[in-house]
Structure 1
């Protein structure tokens, strides 16, 4: 494995500036880009056909000669931290030395394609990272998808009356005629403004654009008080474990289809680390597992984004069969 120096990473960041401009900056907090078209192909592959855990096998007979490995984390993307620290926990128990690097999407794709970072787990396809696959796909190895429900949503408290997004048009009074949003530049905000609001006739609502922390604070405040609330949200997110919320149905598909999240490596890393590669191929996380892990890692009531190692260790104690099933390739069953 090549060690990634600060100088080399600086070069990656500089080399990726144009790619970031062309492909679009990553979204705050790991929410999908939104919008886009219905094309499910990128780099000549139909990414929509992946089933989490495809190609799972028992790793008992695999062993890596090289026990130093680097794992990339997308800055601000909660599921990226969750999956990488899960893998880090398992690999370190197996005697590996694991280095993590936090980068935005453009530098990450560049670094892995160049062989400066070995693996990352947060490729959103077919839409969010389509441009990066078109640019770097021939230098990357796909290790399968581990999650298949990455999507933009409008969510409400679970005991409130609305069932579909369109219900908010006539039930606005039940929700203080307000839809709480996140950052102005987020794909979720653009999709809500440009598609959901006009298609469902929600001009009667005050769409409050603020920030992810502000939206989550309102969600907590309203659900704690037993009041109805409507927010823009996305999966995966720990809010689904922390608060009593559910998604509104979207019969018009205004918020877009669900994406899948894939793991990738460079070609050399895949050859040097067949054990790690298969472990990633075996990984499957459903909404309940992922939301509970992220809640433990990131909510203020738990670790609040501090001490990821301890949070993951605690979660694994609460899910004692997970690692054994993971290594045996049984998570998809």
Structure 2
């Protein structure tokens, strides 16, 4: 009898201790080891490239979709290089914005053995040099002779971005633009410069890419690239850590089947990053956008 009482007391103490510990744990703690109904791990970390608006849109969409399915999705912003390093070490689970075969080739060459390619979700991607529609030039070949009209500057984005390397290593030498200043800082700074220049009807040349909401927001055109220095059209791939499919077998299948055309992407990008909204408002905006595109959103996880 005494032994039975001791066992009951021990079990009660253990239960009380567990309850007490759970009250001290941060939200989502048990999701790190627990599973959702389909067998996937509950907690997922999506890394989002700083300044890449299509990445922000796709990541917010998948956070919404997966959260609705019972996952606990954390979005973490990072620059491109540390993002791939974190994926290779398993610190992050997945990124939705790898451009192949050119833009992010250096990172796939370096970390590819530790990563999993879940496939392309957009096949309409391209790197561009863009100017206002009123600019008198139509080709990168014309830029050197008219450099003074553009303040002798090419306005770039983040220094570590794949496009920055392409412009620096391919475009500038192939077109003899070494005398122009290639200014790199951030995507928001480039867009601010573009907006300000157009407002003043001044010439400006910026590094840009398709798909991007700027093509809907500003009267701009792409410069022709007869030398092909910017590379051929690319695909946007979902890249995950090596063991992603074993940790998230169902989510891996959904993401492998994920497709999003540029028009659909533009509409979500515009609702988010071109609306003047704060990042803290993105979940609510994504929820509203999803309700307006319910058939598409449902298709991402239906019958798969």
TM-score by length of 2: 0.71
Q: Is the 8 A contact 1:70 1:101 kept in 2?
A: no
Structure 2 residue runs of 5 or longer lacking an equivalent are 1-29
Corresponding position of 1:307 = 281
Q: Which has the larger radius of gyration?
A: 2
What is the match of residue 36 of structure 1? none
The residue aligned with 2:290 is: 316
Alignment partner of 1:223 is 2:198: yes
Q: CA deviation at 1:267?
A: 5.0
Over 3 Å counting, the alpha-carbon distance change for 1:233 and 1:274 in structure 2 is same
- 2:39 counterpart of 1:65: yes
Q: Per-residue displacement from partner, 1:103-154 (whole Å, max 9, x unpaired)?
A: 4445544544455543332333334444543454344332111123444321
- Residues 204-231 of structure 1 show CA distances to partners (whole Å, capped at 9, x for unaligned) of x854625334432231123334454332
Q: Give the counterpart of 2:117 among 142, 147, 151.
A: 142
Change (3 A) 1:190 1:279: closer
Please give the residue correspondences for 1:1-333 in structure 2 after superposition, counting only pairs within 5 Å: 3=32, 64-66=38-40, 68-76=42-50, 77-105=52-80, 107-169=82-144, 175-176=149-150, 178-182=152-156, 185-186=159-160, 188-189=163-164, 191-202=166-177, 206-207=180-181, 209=183, 211-212=185-186, 213-299=188-274, 301-328=275-302
- 8 Å contact kept, 1:72–1:100: yes
Q: Is the 8 Å Cα contact of residues 298 and 306 (structure 1) preserved in structure 2?
A: no
> 8 Å contact 2:47–2:92 — kept in the other structure?
no
- Runs (5+) with no aligned partner, structure 1: 5-62
| Whole-angstrom distance in 1 between the partners of 2:147 and 2:193 | 17
Provide Cα deviations, 1:21-68, integer angstroms capped at 9, x if missing partner.
xxxxxxxxxxxxxxxxxxxxxxxxxxxxxxxxxxxxxxxxxx722351
Shift of 1:237: 3.4
Indicate how the Cα distance of structure 1 residues 254 and 106 shifts in structure 2: closer, same or farther if over 3 A, else same: closer
Cα distance in structure 2, aligned partners of 1:323 and 1:161: 42
Moved over 6 A (4+): none
Judged with a 3 Å threshold, the aligned counterparts in structure 2 of structure 1 residues 202 and 308 are, in CA distance, closer, same or farther, namely same
Separation in structure 2 between the aligned mates of residue 218 and residue 105 of structure 1, nearest angstrom = 22
More moved, 249-258 vs 117-126 = 117-126
* Contact persistence 1:69–1:118 (CA under 8 A): no
Give TM-score, length-normalised by structure 1. Answer: 0.65
